[in-house]
A and B are shown apart, each in its own frame.
Chain A
Amino acid sequence: MLGVARLLTSRLNHTFALSTSRLSLLLGSSSSSRGLSSGGVRSKVEAVLNLEEVKKVLSDLRAEDIQIIPVKSQCEWTDFMVIATGTSTWHVRNIAQALIHKVKQKQKGAERLLLPSVQGHEGGNWVVIDSGNVIVHALDEKARSYYKLESLWLTEMAPKGPNQDLEKALVKTRRKNNSKKSVEGVS
C-alpha cells in the first residue's frame, strides 16, 4: 500500500505538489492521490526556497531592483512576493534557472526532488517561480512597467473585516408589532 502511494506522488512531483507529497508520505497510504488544493492547506514543512536564499541568488545574478513584499496580511495563499527585473529575456530565464539549480543543490541526497513550479519560461517576458510561501517574479523592464505589480501589492488594501451586510442578512429579526389590537393571552 505504501508502495502505491509512492508511485502516485512521484507522478505529481514535477508539478506544484508541495503539500500533496509531504502530507501523503506522513499519512501513509490511505490519503488519496488527488492533489490537495494548496490554497486551503498551509503545509507546515519549510518552504522549498527560503527568503534569504532567494535574496542571495538574486544579488549574485545581479538582478536589478529587487523588491520583497510581505503579503501575509493581504493574501492567504502566500507569505512573500519577490519581484526582480532582468536586463533581457535571457537574463530573466537565467534567474529562473539559477533558482531551480539552488533548490536542486539544497535537496541533494533526498530521494525525491520537490521542485518549485516555473511558469512563463518559454516567453521569457515574465517568469513566475512558485515555491509555497515565497513567490518570485522575474520580469523584464517593459513587463514591469506594464503590469505595475508593486502598486498592486504595496498599497495596503482595506482590511477585509467580517462582511457586515452578510451578517445582517442572516440574522432573523421579528417585525415590530404596532397594532393596537390587544393580544389574547392563552390562559
Chain B
Amino acid sequence: MRTNLKVVDNSGAKRVMCIQALKGKKGARLGDTIIASVKEAQPRGKVKKGEVVYCVVVRAAMPRGRCDGSEIKFDDNAVVLVNKQGEPIGTRVFGPVPHELRKKKLVKILTLAEHIA
C-alpha cells in the first residue's frame, strides 16, 4: 500500500502507487499482481494520471530466494501495467526481468522483455 513503483513498459505511465496487493496478507512480492493508481504519466500515452490499473511486479528490492539457494534482488521496484485479463498494456518491457515470471504463468511479459536475469 502506498508504495511508489516505477513503470517499465511503454504504456505511458511513469510512476504508480500501489493501492492493493491482490494476493498475500503481507504484501505483494516479485511476480504478484497489484492494483495501483497512476501518479505520473506521459502526455500521450495509453493511460492517464489518476487511473486505476492492474500491474505485475517485475523487479523488487526485497531479495527473493530461488530454489537452488541463491537470492535475487534488484535496485529498484518496478512494475508492468496489465489489464484485468492479464494482457500487458504496453508493447515492450525495459530493464531486466527475473525468471520467476515463467513459473507464475507470465510468459507474455517475458517475451516482451529485453533482458532476463
Residues B108 and A35 in contact, CB atoms below 8 Å apart: no
Interface residues of A (CB under 8 A from B): 15-16, 32, 34-40, 75-77, 81, 117, 119-120, 122-123, 125-126, 128, 130, 135, 137, 146-149, 152-153, 157
Contact status B99-A37, CB under 8 Å: yes
Shortest C-beta distance, B105 to chain A (Å), equals 5
Instruction: Pick from B105, B107, B116 the residue with the most CB of A within 10 Å.
Output: B107
Shortest distance from the beta carbon of A127 to any chain B beta carbon, whole Å:
10
B residues touching A (Cβ–Cβ < 8 Å)?
66-68, 85-87, 91-92, 99-100, 102-103, 105-108, 110-112, 114, 116
Chain B residues near A147 (CB-CB < 8 A): 91, 112
* 30 pairs, A vs B, C-beta closer than 8 Å: A15-B105, A16-B103, A32-B67, A36-B68, A37-B67, A37-B99, A37-B100, A38-B99, A38-B103, A39-B99, A39-B102, A39-B116, A40-B66, A40-B99, A81-B111, A119-B86, A119-B106, A119-B107, A119-B108, A123-B86, A123-B87, A128-B108, A130-B107, A135-B107, A135-B111, A137-B111, A146-B91, A149-B111, A152-B111, A153-B111
Tell me, rounded to whole Å, the shortest Cβ–Cβ distance linking A157 to chain B. Answer: 8
Residues of chain A with a CB closer than 8 A to B116's CB? 39, 75-77
CB pair B85 A122 closer than 8 Å: yes
Other A-B contacts than A38-B99, A39-B99, A77-B102, 8 sampled, CB-CB below 8 A, are A32-B67, A77-B116, A117-B105, A119-B105, A120-B86, A128-B111, A152-B92, A157-B114
Closest beta carbon of chain B to A119's beta carbon, Å:
5
- In Å, the complex CA distance between A132 and B66 comes to 19
In the complex, the chain A residue whose C-beta lies closest to that of B85 is A123
A156 to B89, CA, bound (A): 25
Closest CB in chain B relative to A140 CB, distance in Å: 12
